[in-house]
Every structure is written in structure tokens, then in C-alpha cells.
Amino acid sequence: MTVKVTIDLNRKFSVAADINTVFSLLSDVPVSAAHFPKVHAITELSDNVFRWEMEKVSLGIHSIQTIYACQYVSDSDAKTIVWTPIKGEGNGIVLGKWELTEEADGTSVSFHTKAELTLPLPGLLKLAISPAVKFEFAGMVDKYLRNLKGLWA
């Protein structure tokens, strides 16, 4: 049996760094991913296609690992980075987008991601596990964004 959990996150913040500095780091997926917590491995499958393997996370007596792959497209004119899922890779489907806007004193950063995780757990656990998975995922994203903001402070 499996449980599907859908997570949809939107975050927006400003940093003092100029837009090109921010764009340069975010468009380099392995460099950006180095600031994401609990990444076990990130592997380039082909040009701008990466597989993410997260560390196993314990949720009560259960342990889960999320694996997914995305293709990344950076648009230096629009200052966006978009990732779309590669189906059939792992147990997650993840998509999202960075949008950067130049401000007088730095850069406004908008982050959106949506994930659908298929976890090998009994269906009866969905009501109990789903909020815990969403909380863990949101916590990792928020730590990632704090780590990035610290670079541009």
C-alpha cells in the first residue's frame, strides 16, 4: 500500500545581494542544492536534469526516503529558474519556480514548489502521516531559504 502526500509551498523574501549574484547561484543546481538540508545525493542525469535523493527521515516507527528528478531551465533575461518533473524517477513528482525581481537595495526572491510524494506506507496512516510529512518538507524548505539568505546578507 502507498500514501500520496501533496505539498504546495510559496515563499517570498528580499536579500541585499544584486539580482545577477542571486540568479547565478540559484541557476547552478548542485551549488544551490548544497544549501538544502538532508540531501543524501544529487546526481546529474543529463544536461540540467538532476536526481535528488534525500536522507531517510523517521516519522514515528516508519522511515521514508524521497527520490525525484527534475529538469531545470534558467532564463537569464526573465531571471527565472523553472524545474519540471521527470516521471518514473523515484517516488516524488516535484515542480517549481524561482522568480527574481530587482529592487533598489537588492533582490526580491519568490519561491514556489509543489510536490506529490508516494510513500510506501499503509493507507490507514494517511491521516496521521500526511501532516508530519508536510511539516518536515516545509521545515527543510524554510531551512534551505534561511541558508541562502545567510549567503546574501
φ, ψ of residue 145 in degrees (nearest 5): -65, -40
Question: What pLDDT does residue 3 have?
Answer: 86
Residue pointed to by grid coordinates 545577477 = 20
pLDDT in tens, the chain (153 residues): 788 999 999 999 999 999 999 999 999 999 999 999 999 999 999 999 999 999 998 767 778 899 999 999 999 999 999 999 999 999 999 999 999 999 999 999 999 999 999 988 776 677 778 888 899 899 999 999 999 999 998
Domains of the chain plus CATH, in order, are 3-151 (3.30.530.20)
Spatial separation of the C-alpha atoms in residues 90 and 120, rounded to whole Å: 12
Spatial separation of the C-alpha atoms in residues 50 and 116, rounded to whole Å: 17
Q: Which helix (H) or strand (E) holds 143?
A: helix 126-151
- Kindly report, residue by residue over 69-91, the tens digit of the pLDDT: 999 999 999 999 999 999 999 99
- Kindly report, residue by residue over 53-62, the tens digit of the pLDDT: 999 987 677 7
Q: Quick one: cell of 73?
A: 531551465
- The gap between the terminal CA atoms of the chain, to the nearest Å, is 46
One-letter amino acid for residue 35 of the chain: H
Question: What pLDDT does residue 63 have?
Answer: 80
Q: CA Rg, the chain, in Å?
A: 16
Residue pointed to by grid coordinates 534561511 = 146
Spatial separation of the C-alpha atoms in residues 114 and 131, rounded to whole Å: 15
Question: What pLDDT does residue 148 have?
Answer: 97
